[in-house]
Amino acid sequence: MATLTVRGLRLHFLELPESDPRAPAILFLHGSGGTHRIWLPQVRHFAPVYRAVALDLPGHGASEGDGADSIAAYREWVEAFMDAAGMEQAFLVGHSMGGAIALAIALGSPARVSGIGLVGTGARLRVHPDILEGLRGDPERAAGLLSEWAYAPASGPELPAQGKKELLRGSAAVLEKDLRACDAFDLMKEVDRIRVPAVVVCGAEDRLTPVKYARYLQDRIPGALLAVIPGAGHMVMLEKPDEVNHALAAWLDRH
């Protein structure tokens, strides 16, 4: 793990030694309550050819801070990190909330974006009220419910159990801020203005951001590709890493 000071906070990120700093950059952005660890299979796959970096957003993983209250605020953090890391431009690959951040940057700062990979995300990200209420009353139950919904049944019990541990390892207050930022996020009337290359990846059994969310993005972002991965849920990049890597690689090869 490496560290950069960004706007007064130390932000941690993963960049493997074999990653080529002169190659095109891919910046992986995790979702609500997540860390860089959700992208380990992708960073390992792409590091030999690209400058592959997975960031811990403020307040997540080993990064300092208290999270952010909105997707717009996270967008500012990501752009500031890119500046500090010497990334004039990057492919942004985001999961769930990370996908929302990628969409916001593609709309607001398109010159910084080589393309966007939108994984298990949507133009609008409403959060079930039971999750939001549960985080204050019974965080462990809420984390368990969120993890249960995040994986397809075929993934078995181990991945949801690990997902629950990961959520509980972080701050419940930061997770709640993330989810409320997602709940307020809505670019449904704006995504058709995006003019950067895009690929949309979704698990066929995603219960949190269903396939209809992915198809909406594909239909409205000009030229967007779509990959629906059978047997996977919301955490598709962990459930079916090879298939996700293949979908991202096929898209990157075109651009």
Which pLDDT score, from 0 to 100, does residue 141 have? 84
Residue 59 pLDDT level (bands cut at 50, 70, 90): very high
Distance CA 49, CA 29 (A): 19
Half-sphere CA count of 129, side-chain side, radius 13 A: 0
Bridge-partner residues for 218, per DSSP?
none
Q: What is the mean pLDDT of residues 183-190?
A: 97
Helix (H, G, I), strand (E, B) or coil at 47: coil
pLDDT of residue 140: 86
Query: Does a structural domain hold residue 103?
Result: yes
Residue 158 lies in a domain: no
Average pLDDT, the chain: 95
pLDDT at 92: 98
DSSP state of 68: -
In a domain, 21, yes or no: yes
Residue 192 token pair: 């058709």
Q: Does the structure show a pLDDT above 90 at 225?
A: yes
Give the pLDDT confidence of 79-130 residue by residue, as tens digits: 999 999 999 999 999 999 999 999 999 999 999 999 999 999 999 999 988 7
Q: Backbone phi, then psi, for 154, in 5-degree steps? A: -65, -15
DSSP structure class, residue 24: P
pLDDT at 133: 80
CA–CA separation, 107 and 242 (whole Å): 29
Vertex 34 angle, CA 148 and 222, to 5°? 95
Helix (H, G, I), strand (E, B) or coil at 172: helix
Given a cut of 80, whether residue 226 has pLDDT beyond it is yes
What are the DSSP E strand ranges found in 34-122? 51-55, 90-95, 113-119
User: Is 163 a domain residue?
Assistant: no
Structural domains in the chain (count): 1
- The mean pLDDT value for 221-239 works out to 97
The pLDDT of residue 183 is: 96
Q: Is the pLDDT of residue 1 over 80?
A: no
What is the pLDDT averaged over residues 158-175? 89
Task: Calculate mean pLDDT across residues 176-193.
Answer: 96
Encoding tokens for residue 228?
């629906």
Among residues 119, 117, 115, the alpha carbon closest in space to that of 255 is found at 115
CATH number at 46 reads: 3.40.50.1820
Full residue range of the structural domain in which residue 233 is found:
2-124+186-254
Q: What is the pLDDT of residues 195-211, one digit of tens each?
A: 999 999 999 999 999 99
Q: Is residue 39 part of a domain?
A: yes
pLDDT band at 250 (very low <50, low <70, confident <90, very high): very high
Decide if 132 is inside a domain: no
pLDDT the model gives residue 168: 86
In this prediction the pTM is 0.96
Q: What are phi and psi of 9, to 5 degrees?
A: -115, 145
141 within some domain: no
Establish if 219 belongs to a structural domain: yes
